[in-house]
Amino acid sequence: MLPTALLCAVLCYAGAAALAATPFARPVGPPVRSVVSVLGAGVVLHLIALAVATRAAGHLALAGLGPALSFAGLALAAILLAVEALARDVSLTLVAAPLAALATAVAALLTSRDFDVQSMPAGMRGAWLAAHIALSFIGIAAFGTAAAAGMMYLIERRELKSRRFGAVFRAFPPLETLDRVNHVGALAAAVTLTIGVILAVAYSITYRTSEVPQMVWGIGAWLAASALAVGRVGWRWPARRAAMVATVGFALVVVSYVAARALVARSGQFL
């Protein structure tokens, strides 16, 4: 049942992205209600899959590559659903929903091969580790949302400067909205990743255990998100610079994740 629920969630995320792209194919308004409904269905199915995995494992299923990717996809989809429902817009779905679908699809593939089984420590230690992983991936999802808004900001700004008022102008929200999403996403990513790193460092010191690739990647992601947040709040970066930093920074985080995963060949690690 677990792979089936995950694959159904993947179909929902991909379907939401396809629906969000309809204004590019024909001159219609953004299908907010349809996209939010399909995204919501995907999140519900994903939550069911998480509940099934948690029941089978006997603890919150976050440890291991498959569960971690699944939770990352769920966090990104949930944040996207909240943003689109509140903003009454669907343009971010064009970028973020495929990312959520990709992470969830890989998780479903790994789950079907029983590649990701890893037990969590019991008691307080297990709760501590679960909190660190959950907050870290929520932060990465918020960073991804900020990057998606930043990339769309750059695309729309270029279209406006070239005076092309086509499908992009019709489908994308105002530049001010994208800049606000970038700003809030950057702050949310910095806060949650900061807490996640503090929990990770304290956990390593308390239990005298550490995974160097995980620590390096996590601190790198935290530095990237924190630099963006400090630039926005402290240095008052203009919207264009913040959009570029968010897009490039998140891309580097993803590339470093792939590189770290290639270095850590052992199964069962969340990297």
Q: What is the pLDDT along the chain (271 residues), one digit of tens a residue?
A: 678 889 999 999 999 999 988 887 777 777 889 999 999 999 999 999 988 888 887 777 776 777 878 888 999 999 999 988 887 888 888 888 998 999 899 888 877 655 444 555 666 777 777 888 888 889 999 999 999 999 999 998 988 888 776 666 667 788 898 999 999 999 999 999 999 998 888 888 887 777 777 888 889 999 999 999 999 998 999 999 999 999 999 999 988 887 877 676 554 455 5
- Given a contact cutoff of 8 angstroms between Cβ atoms, the answer to whether 232 and 164 are in contact is no
Both tokens of 260, joined, read 């770290």
Residue type present at position 104: T
Distances (CA, A) of 63 to 54, 121, 129, 267: 11, 10, 9, 11
- For 20, 96, 207, 212, the CA distances from 151, given in Å and listed in that order, are 16, 11, 41, 31
Q: What is the reported pLDDT for 210? A: 72
In sign, the C-alpha dihedral spanning 125, 219, 98, 173 is: positive
Decide if 16 contacts 77 (C-beta within 8 A).
Answer: no
- Residue 70 contacts by C-beta under 8 Å, 6 or more apart in sequence? 6, 46, 49, 50, 53, 61, 103, 104, 107, 108, 111
DSSP 116: -
Report the pLDDT value the prediction gives residue 108, as an integer from 0 to 100: 86
Give residue 1's pLDDT.
64
Name, in order, each residue with C-beta under 8 angstroms of 256's C-beta and a sequence gap of 6 or more. 217, 220, 221
183 contacts: CB under 8 Å, gap ≥ 6: 146, 232, 242
**For the chain, domain boundaries:** 2-263
DSSP string, 147-165: HHHHHHHHHHHHHHHTT--
Contact indicator for 134, 62 with CB cutoff of 8 Å: yes
* Helix, strand, coil content of the chain in percent (nearest 5): 80, 0, 20
Residue 268's pLDDT is 47
What is the pLDDT, as a whole number, of residue 119? 57
